[in-house]
A and B are shown apart, each in its own frame.
Chain A
Amino acid sequence: MLAVSGWLFVRRTLLLTRLVRAGKPVERFSDMPARVRSEAVVVLAQKKLLQRLIPGLMHAFIFWGFLVLFPTILLAVAWVVAREPSLRSSSPLGWLERQGWYALLADVFVVLVLVGVATALLIRKVQRPARFQGSHRGEADLILALIAGVVTTLLLWHASLIAADLNPWPAGWSPVSNALSTLLRTGTIADVLERVFVWTHVLLILGFLAYLPHSKHLHIAVAAINVFFGRTRAGGRLEPLRFDAEEEAELRFGAGTVSDLTWKQALDAMSCTECGRCQDACPAWATGKALSPKLLVMGLRDQLFAEGPGVLAGAEATPLVPSAVTDEVVWDCVTCGACVQECPVSIEHIDHIVDLRRHLVMVDSRFPGEAEPMLRDVERASNPWGKPQAERAAWAEGLDLRVLKPGSRPPDLLYWVGCAGSFDERARDSVVATARLLRRAGFDLAILGPRESCTGDPARRMGNEYLFQTLAEQNIRTLDETGARTIVTSCPHCFNTLANEYPDFGGRYEVLHHTELLADLVRGGRLSPAAGEADITYHDSCYLARHNDVVAAPRELVARIGRPLEMAKSGKRTFCCGAGGAHMWMEERASPINEERVRQAAETGADTLAVACPFCTLMLDDGVRQSGRDLRVADVATLLDESVSRREAQVAASAS
C-alpha cells in the first residue's frame, strides 16, 4: 500500500518538477531575507488568507492543524508496522508520543481542524459565495471529506489506544480522546478497534497522498514554494524582456505557448487552489467583463498539464490564446493588481497577462485596434495623444519654473509632470497646484519641458516591450544628463515606472509622489492649510497604493483639509478607476468600471472625491458626469492649494 501510494505520489511529483524546471529563466533568488520573511508572514502566519477573517481562520485552523499533527502521521505508520514501543523508543517520535502536552495539542487541533472543515462546508454549501463560480466544487468537497476523515480516525485511534490501555501518554492530558475512550471500553473489542482505526487512518492518508498531486489540493506542496519565490520588489514592476540575451533560452517575446512560461509562472499555475479571492476583487469581473483572474490561471494550468508532458518529450506546444485564454480576457485586464494582492499563494496574474499581451503584440500584431493610435503617437510624438511636444511646458507659463536646457545647472528637485498633466485640461489643475505649492514652499523647481516624454508605461502594459525599452533608454539619458537625483511626479504610473522599472535599465533616482512630498511639507509647517468643512472620500490609485504602498500620505493631507470618509474598498485593497493597463486608450465593453467606482464613492455620502492620479481624475470625473451625480472630483494637490490659499487670505484678513 505504502509503495503504491508512494509510487503514484513520486511519479506525479517528478513530472511536475520537470515541468517547472523546463520553464524559462526569471530572477527569483535574490533578496533571501525578504523571502524568508514572506514565508513566515504569508505561509506560517497566513496573513493574506486572514485578509478575510472567517474563511481565513477556517483555513488557518486546518493549516496549523496539519503542521501540529504531522508527527502523528509518522506515529500512526509506525504503529501500523508494530505496536511494540521498541521500534519508536530510540527516535524523537517515541519521546514525543509520551508527552502529555503534545497529546493535548493533538486533541485541540483535531477539534480545530474539524471546526475548520465544518466552517468550510458552511461557506461552500450555505453561504455559497460567487467567488467559487467556475471552480471545481466536487473536488473541494472530496478533499474536505478526506481531511475530516483523517482527523476523525486520528481522534478515534487515540481514543481506542486509551480504551485498550495502550496510550504512551498520560490519558488525563487528552480530554477529548479520553472522554471518547469511555465509549470504546468494552472488553477486548478496544484492542481490535485500535487496529481498525489506525489502519483506516493510515489508508486514508496514503490515499490522500496519492490523490494530492493530481488535484487542485496540490497547493499543500507547492504554495509554500511559490510564496518563497514570489516577487520581493514593488508590485508595479514588470519583469523586463532581454532583447540582447545571448542565450537562445533566455530570449523570449512574452508567452505564446506553455513552453514560453517562466518556471515561476508554471509554479503559479500549479499553486492555484481555485479559492476565487482574485475573481471577487477583480474590477473587470465585477463589471461583467470576460476576465476572471482565477479562470485565467486555471486555463493556463489546464493547458500546461495537457501539453506539458508532450512538450517535455519534444512535441510542439500550441498557442495559449485563444485556447487556454481568449483574446478578450487578455485585453480586459487593467493591471490593477487586486488579484495579486488577494492571492494567498502569491500567484502573479499581471505577469501572466502582460506576457500573453507581449506575444500577441510583438509576434502576432494582434491587439485592440483602437489602441494603435496611442502606440503610434507614443512612438512618434512622445505622448499618447499626439500633441506637439513644443507645447509640453505651456501649462507652466507664469509659474516661475526652470525649464532645463542641455547644460543647465542641476536642479534640487525635478518635477516629472507626465503627459496627462502636461496636455489634458482637467489633469492640469493638479500639476499647476503642485507647482504652485512647491514654489510657495521655496523649492527651486525644474521641469524638462519638451525634453520630457512618455515613460512608456502604457506601451509596456499593452505588451509593446520594445517601444517601452526604447523610451526608457531615451528618458534615462535625458535624466542623467540633467544631473537630477530627486524627482517628484504627479502621475502614479510615471512614478512606478521611474522608481521601479527604470533601475532595470540603469536609471536610479529618488522618486517621490507629490502627495508624499506635500504631506512632508505640511507636517514640517512649510505649508499651512486651513481646516475645511468638505466631506472628502479619497480614492487610492492602484499604482500608488497597491503597487507602491503610498497610502498614508494622501490621507494625512485629506485629514488636514476636510473631513475624511473611507470607501469600503480602500488602501491596498482599492478598486481601480478603469484606466490602468493602457485601458485609458481602449474601449470598454459591458458596464464601465469608472461608474462602479463612482457609485462606491457616492455611497460614503462625501461631496468631494479626492484622487492623486491624473488618469483617476479623468476616469472618475467622466464617471460622475455619466451617472449625473453631485460629486466634485479633484486631486489632493488641488484641494491643498485651495486650502493653503484660503488660509493665507484668512491670515491676511486678520492681520489688517
Chain B
Amino acid sequence: MRALVVIERLADGVDELSLQALAFGRGLAGGPDVHALAVGEGGADLAPLLGAHGVSEVHVAEHEAFVSYAPPAVARAVVDLVERLSPGLVLAAGSDRGNEVLARAAAMVELPFAANCVDATTGDPLRVTRQRWGGSLLEEAELAGAPALLTVAPHVVAAAPVDGAEATVDTFTPTLSPDELAVRVVEHVRAEAAGVSLSDANVVVSGGRGTGSAEGFAVLEELAELLRGAVGCSRAVTMAGWRPHTDQVGQTGTKIAPDIYIACGISGATQHMAGCKGAKKILAINVDPEASIMASADYAVIGDLHEVVPAVSAEIRKARGT
C-alpha cells in the first residue's frame, strides 16, 4: 500500500515526531512505497535524510504561503497529493500541527480522521487504537474510506533509519484558494521578555493576594530576574486582574516543578498547592504564621513581602558585588 507522510520541518532538519510517524507509516504500508510531503523552500535538502528513513519520493510544495505555518494551505497540498498519488494511507505526527493539518485535510476530502493512534491494522476497514483523554483512555475504532487519515501519537514508536537511497524529489505548487491563505502565522510574540517560561523555570517567584496590587509584583520581578527565574501568581491575583492567567500556578493554571518555589503573600490554598507540589523546596514569605502554606513550606520568613523581598534582592546584589 502507498503511504503519504506529512513532514514537520525544523530549521535544520525534520522533527523527531515526524520521523516516528514515518517509521509507523512504513510498518503499516508494508512496503517501500512511502512518500513524504515537505512544504516550503529548501524541502529538497531533506531528501538524503528522508531517504535514510525509508522515503522513496519527497514532494516539495512550493508557495509563498509556506514561509510561515499556514495550516489550510498545507492541508490543500496534502489533498492535491492525495488526488495525484491515490495513497491508501495519509499520516502525520500526532503533534498540535500534525493533528490540525490532517483534520483540515480530512474535512476537505470529507473523510474520517483518527488522531493520536498508537496502533493500526490494515484491512477494510482499517482498525486503529488511539489515545483519548490525554492518554488515560485507549479507544479502538474502525476507519472507513480511502485514504485512511491518521496521526501517530508521540513516542509510541521510535524513529528507525534504514539503508535507503536518497529520496527522489518532486516539486509542485498547490492550487490555493484565497480562503486557504487566510489562516497563517503572521507574527511571533515571545511571552514576557524574561525569556524563562513558568513551567521550565528552575526558580519561580510567585505572588498572592498579599502583593496587594499589580504594582506589588515589581519587587518579585526584580528578584526573579536576579535568580534567572520566572514570576508566577495565585488564582486570587488573576481573579483580581493583576496578572494574566498564563502566570497562574495551581490546579487550574500551570503545574510547575522548580528547584525552589518562593511563595510571597500566598496563603497556600489546596488549589494552589496542587500546582506547585512538584517543587523541590518551597520558601514561604508571609505575614501570617498560621497560613496553610506553612504546612508545606521547607523554609518560611514571617514578614511583609514588601520588606523581605527587596531585602533579599539587595543581599544578592551585595554578594555579587553589583
The complex places the Cα of A370 from the Cα of B236 at a distance, in Å, of 16
Contact of B252 with A592 in the complex, beta carbons under 8 Å = no
B 130-177 contacts with A by CB, 8 A? 132-134, 136
Q: Mark B260-293, 1 if CB is under 8 A from A, else 0.
A: 0000000011110110010000000000000010
Bound CA span A386–B257, Å: 15
Chain A residues with Cβ under 8 A from B269's Cβ? 424-426, 618, 622
Given the contacts A376-B134, A622-B269, A370 and B292 also touching, CB distance less than 8 Å: no
Contact of A625 with B by CB under 8 A: yes
Are A426 and B252 in contact, CB atoms less than 8 angstroms apart?
no
B191-210: contact bitstring with A at CB < 8 Å (1 yes, 0 no)?
00000000000000000010
CA A245 to CA B249, docked complex, whole Å = 42
A368: nearest chain-B partner, CB-CB: B252
Asked if A376 meets B251 with Cβ closer than 8 Å, knowing A626-B239, A626-B240, the reply is no
Task: Determine the distance from Cα of A369 to Cα of B318 in the docked complex, in whole angstroms.
Answer: 44
* Closest A residue by C-beta to B268: A425
Could you tell me the distance between the alpha carbons of A377 and B250 in the complex, rounded to whole angstroms? Answer: 13
Q: Are B292 and A425 in contact (CB under 8 A)?
A: yes
Tell yes or no: B306 within 8 A of A by CB.
no
Contact with A along B84-119 (1 / 0, CB 8 A): 000000000000000000000000000000000000
Least distance between A152 CB and chain B CB atoms (Å): 56
> What chain B residues lie within 8 Å of A374 (beta carbons)?
251
Does B35 belong to the interface (CB within 8 Å)? no
Within 8 A of B (CB), among A380-412: 380, 384-387
- Residue of B209, B238, B270 near A385 (CB, 8 A) is B270
- A385 (CB) vs chain B CBs: closest residue: B274
> Which residues of A have CB within 8 Å of B134?
372, 376
Q: Does the CB pair B245–A386 fall under 8 Å?
A: no
| A190 to B268 CA separation, bound complex (whole angstroms) | 85
Chain A's closest residue to B135 (CB) is: A376
Interface centre among A373, A379, A585 (most CB of B within 10 A): A373
Given A386-B274, A424-B270, A426-B292, verify A373-B239 contact (CB < 8 Å).
no
Residue of A nearest to B292 (CB): A425
Question: How many Å lie between the Cα of A224 and that of B271 in the bound state?
Answer: 45
Residues of B near A585 (CB, < 8 A) are 251-252, 271
Judge whether B295 is part of the interface by a CB distance below 8 angstroms.
Answer: yes
- Does B133 lie within 8 Å of A365, measured CB to CB? yes
Please determine whether A371 and B252 come into contact, CB atoms closer than 8 angstroms: yes
| Chain B minimum-CB-distance residue to A380 | B136
Min distance, Cβ A589 to any Cβ of chain B, angstroms: 11
Instruction: Using C-beta atoms within 8 Å of the partner chain, give the interface range for chain B.
Output: 20 to 34
Given A373-B274, A587-B245, A622-B269, verify A385-B251 contact (CB < 8 Å): yes
Which of B209, B252, B268, B273 meets A625, CB within 8 Å?
Answer: B209
Mark A467-511 against chain B: 1 for CB-CB distance below 8 A, else 0.
000000000000000000000000000000000000000000000
The answer to whether A415 has its CB under 8 Å from any CB of chain B is no
Q: A117: shortest Cβ distance to chain B, in Å?
A: 47
Please name all residues of chain B whose beta carbon is closer than 8 Å to the beta carbon of A380 when the two chains form the complex: 136
| Residue A423 lies at the interface, judged by CB distance under 8 Å to chain B | yes
Query: Is B303 an interface position by the 8 A CB rule?
Result: no
Assembly CA distance A217 to B268 (angstroms) = 54
A592 — which chain B residues lie within 8 A by C-beta?
239
Point out the residue from B133, B236, B295 that lies within 8 Å of A626, measured CB to CB.
Answer: B236
Q: Is B2 an interface residue (CB 8 A)?
A: no
Instruction: Judge whether B277 and A386 touch: CB under 8 Å.
Output: yes
B248 to chain A, nearest CB (A): 8
Chain A residue at minimum C-beta to C-beta distance from B248: A587
Which B residue sits closest to A625, measured CB to CB?
B209
Q: A586 in the interface, Cβ–Cβ < 8 Å? A: yes
A625 touches B236 (CB 8 A): yes
CA distance A365 to B136 in the complex (A): 12
Q: Are A587 and B236 in contact (CB under 8 A)?
A: no
A605–B253 CA distance with the chains assembled, in angstroms: 35
Q: Report whether B252 and A425 are in contact in the complex, using a CB–CB cutoff of 8 Å.
A: no
Tell me if B255 is interfacial: C-beta within 8 Å of chain A.
Answer: yes
- Chain B residues near A587 (CB, 8 Å)? 238, 245, 252
Contacts A585-B252, A592-B239 hold; do A425 and B271 have CB atoms under 8 A apart? no
**Chain B window 225-242, contacts with chain A (Cβ cutoff 8 Å), 1 for yes, 0 for no:** 000000000001011100
Instruction: State the CA gap A224–B240 with chains docked (Å).
Output: 47
B209 neighbours in A (Cβ, 8 Å) = 625-626
Q: Determine the chain A residues whose CB is within 8 A of the CB of B295 once the complex forms.
A: 425
| Cα–Cα, bound, A550→B251 (Å) | 31
Is A373 in contact with B255, judged by CB distance below 8 angstroms?
Answer: yes
Contacts of A373 in B (CB 8 A): 251-252, 255, 274
A370 and B268 CA atoms in complex are apart in Å by: 19
Residues of A within 8 A of B132 (CB): 365
Tell me the residues in window 578-594 of chain A with beta carbons closer than 8 Å to chain B beta carbons: 584-588, 592
Q: Which residues of A contact B271 (CB under 8 A)?
A: 385, 584-585, 618
Considering the chains assembled together, what is the distance between the CA atoms of A80 and B122 in angstroms? 77
Of all chain A residues, the one with the shortest Cβ separation from B132 is A365
Instruction: Look across to chain A and name the residue whose beta carbon is closest to the beta carbon of B293.
Output: A425
Q: Which residue of B lies closest to A376 (CB)?
A: B136
Are B270 and A370 interface neighbours, CB within 8 A? no
Quick one: CB contact mask for A42-55 with B, threshold 8 Å, 1 for yes?
Answer: 00000000000000
Contact B270 A423 (CB under 8 A): yes
Q: B292: which A residues are within 8 A, CB to CB?
A: 425-426
Give the distance in Å from the alpha carbon of A373 to the alpha carbon of B133 in the complex. 11
> Roughly how many angstroms separate A622 CA and B209 CA in the complex, as a whole number?
10
A372, B238: Cα distance in complex, Å: 19
User: Roughly how many angstroms separate A592 CA and B235 CA in the complex, as a whole number?
Assistant: 12
Write the nearest CB–CB distance from B122 to chain A, whole angstroms.
26
Cα distance A380–B134 when bound, in Å? Answer: 13
The listed residue with most A CB atoms (<10 A of its CB), out of B269, B270, B274, is B270
Query: B136 to chain A: which residues have CB within 8 Å?
Result: 376, 379-380
A398 CB, min distance to chain B CBs, angstroms: 16
Q: Which residues of B contact A375 (CB under 8 A)?
A: 133
Q: Are A622 and B252 in contact (CB under 8 A)?
A: no
A424 to B295, CA, bound (A): 11
- Interface centre among A371, A588, A622, by most chain B C-beta atoms within 10 angstroms, is A622
Cα-based distance from A424 to B271 in the complex (angstroms): 9
A384 to chain B, nearest CB (A): 8
Question: Which B residue sits closest to A426, measured CB to CB?
Answer: B292
Q: Knowing A379-B136, A625-B209, say if A370 contacts B239 (CB, 8 Å).
A: no
Chain B residues in 8 Å Cβ range of A626: 209, 236, 239-240
In chain A between 601 and 623, which residues have their CB closer than 8 angstroms to a CB of chain B?
618, 622
B281 to chain A minimum Cβ distance, whole angstroms, is 18
Residue numbers in A under 8 Å from B239 (CB-CB): 588, 592, 626
Q: Which residues of A contact B236 (CB under 8 A)?
A: 622, 625-626
Q: List the B residue with the shortest CB-CB distance to A384.
A: B251
Docked Cα-Cα span, A23 to B218, in Å, equals: 59
Closest to A388 in B: B277
Q: Please indicate the chain A residues that have their CB under 8 angstroms from the CB of B268 in the complex.
A: 425
Annotate A559-589 by CB proximity to B: 1 below 8 A, 0 otherwise: 0000000000000000000000000111110
Chain B nearest CB, measured from A382 CB (Å): 14
Contact across chains for B277 and A370 when beta carbons are under 8 A apart: no
In the complex, how many angstroms separate the beta carbon of A381 from the nearest chain B beta carbon? Answer: 10
- Known contacts A373-B251, A385-B273, A425-B269; 9 further A-B pairs (Cβ under 8 A): A373-B255, A375-B133, A380-B136, A386-B277, A425-B268, A425-B295, A426-B292, A585-B271, A587-B238
Closest 5 CB pairs of A and B: A425-B292, A370-B252, A424-B270, A385-B274, A587-B252
Q: Which residues of A contact B (CB under 8 A)?
A: 365, 370-377, 379-380, 384-387, 420, 423-426, 584-588, 592, 618, 622, 625-626
Residues of B at the A interface (CB closer than 8 Å) are 132-134, 136, 209, 236, 238-240, 245, 251-253, 255, 268-271, 273-274, 277, 292, 295
Give me 30 A-to-B residue pairs in the complex whose CB atoms sit less than 8 angstroms apart, sorted by A's number: A365-B132, A370-B251, A370-B252, A373-B251, A373-B252, A374-B251, A375-B133, A380-B136, A384-B251, A386-B274, A420-B270, A423-B270, A424-B269, A424-B270, A425-B269, A425-B295, A426-B269, A426-B292, A584-B271, A585-B251, A585-B252, A585-B271, A586-B252, A587-B252, A592-B239, A622-B269, A625-B209, A626-B209, A626-B236, A626-B240
